[in-house]
Amino acid sequence: MNDILMTAYILVWPILVAIMMFVMGRAVVRDFLRARRNGEDMV
């Protein structure tokens, strides 16, 4: 039982990182498209 819990704990982190990278990437793309549409600089 202990091995299963440790394995699950270790495997949760890559999933959390993937979710966060997806959310942040989506926000960056949305901001980029909005800036491009309005003729503004991204930075």
Tokens standing for residue 24: 């942040």
Tokens standing for residue 3: 């091995």
pLDDT in tens, 11-28: 999 999 999 999 999 999
Cα separation, 13 vs 5, in Å, equals 13
Q: What pLDDT score was predicted for residue 29?
A: 96
* Mean pLDDT, residues 1-18: 92
Q: What pLDDT score was predicted for residue 1?
A: 76
| Count of CA atoms in the C-beta half-sphere (13 A) of 28 | 7
Q: What pLDDT score was predicted for residue 10?
A: 93
Q: Is pLDDT of 2 > 90? A: no
